[in-house]
Chain A
Amino acid sequence: MNDNSKFDALIARARGEQPPRVDVADRVIGILSGQDARFEPAWDRPLMWVAALSSAVAIPAVVAAVLVYQVWTDPLFELTKAISWVMQ
């Protein structure tokens, strides 16, 4: 058997080889989720909606709290007023 025939026979055997089994699905999705903001894992979506709703409720509540705090009298106002009167 010459080199060419030997090579061809070897190739013919090698073509029947089975590759090792791989499972890259989760890793690929993980990489893509990190790279592409549009590519969110499906299980994240309900959490995303809950977070969005919470934010929508929380923002007006914070704004209202700041406004109310400014309108209400400072709890220490009376005390500081008395001290400043004494010092005068």
Chain B
Amino acid sequence: MGSATLLDLLRDLSSNVYPAGPPLGSLAWSLALGEDPPMPTDLDIEEVHRSRQGDSDAYQCLIKRYQGHVSKIMWRFSRDRRVHEELVQDVFVEAYMSIHSYRQKAPFSHWLAKIATRVGYRYWRQQARRRRTKTFSLEEWDQLPDEPVATMDPSRAGELVHRLLAQLRPRDRLVLTLRYLEGCDVTETARRTGWTKSMVKVQTMRARNRLEKLLARIPGEAEE
């Protein structure tokens, strides 16, 4: 198979997996298709440089530009508005503390997404230790009408998914959230979590099995 054919095949595959285009940060996808990997903008580089020198105005511009992006990620981790805002804030504080480690080889948003995932996962683990997870009633799941799911209000759907996944362990919850809700591929999930690609694949399979068992009402299986 010639290289052009292989590239066509990759394009076809990716358009099937990601009909609306690949998720942000799929560096491997871009490389495989021979496209330039996403790079940070000149404005980001300039403002990161000024932030490192202690220029608060530059960092404030970065926050204002990316707080929507971070807010979207953190909304997967907490749907309590107060907690959500605190998590977004924590992400930017942590990002500043480690801004010297940003090597400018990928867009600033990718680097922030990795920190956001770390902050969110840490929050889930703290919540799991304190056992402050709202329980999800399986009756509620059964009452979900079959047809209207496709036209359901996205906020209601998001709330249900959030509460359902909250029944799983933080690790399972994280991988399912990234793979399905955030639409990350294996490479991007590995990059965000710091796990290996094999670990992401295994963890996804296990988490999906646990979720199926939870939905099939096998008591105790989900918390194995």
Binding site for B on A (CB under 8 A): 1, 3-4, 6-29, 31-33, 35-36, 38-42
Label chain A's interface by main secondary structure.
helix
Q: Do A33 and B181 have beta carbons less than 8 Å apart?
A: no
Q: Do B154 and A16 have beta carbons less than 8 Å apart?
A: yes
Complex Cα distance, B153 from A26, in Å, reads: 32
Q: Do A28 and B63 have beta carbons less than 8 Å apart?
A: yes
Task: Let me know if B35 is at the binding interface, CB within 8 A.
Answer: no
Q: A14-B157, A25-B67 are in contact. Are A42 and B89 (CB under 8 A)?
A: no
Q: Do B84 and A20 have beta carbons less than 8 Å apart?
A: yes
Task: Let me know if B45 is at the binding interface, CB within 8 A.
Answer: no
Q: Which residues of B contact A27 (CB under 8 A)?
A: 89
Q: Do A25 and B84 have beta carbons less than 8 Å apart?
A: no
Q: How far is the CB of B120 from chain A (nearest CB, A)?
A: 13
Task: Let me know if B104 is at the binding interface, CB within 8 A.
Answer: no
Residue in A10, A20, A35 whose beta carbon sits within 8 Å of that of B81 in the complex: A20
Q: Which residues of B contact A40 (CB under 8 A)?
A: 54, 56
Complex Cα distance, B93 from A31, in Å, reads: 8
Residue in B92, B152, B155, B215 whose beta carbon sits within 8 Å of that of A24 in the complex: B92
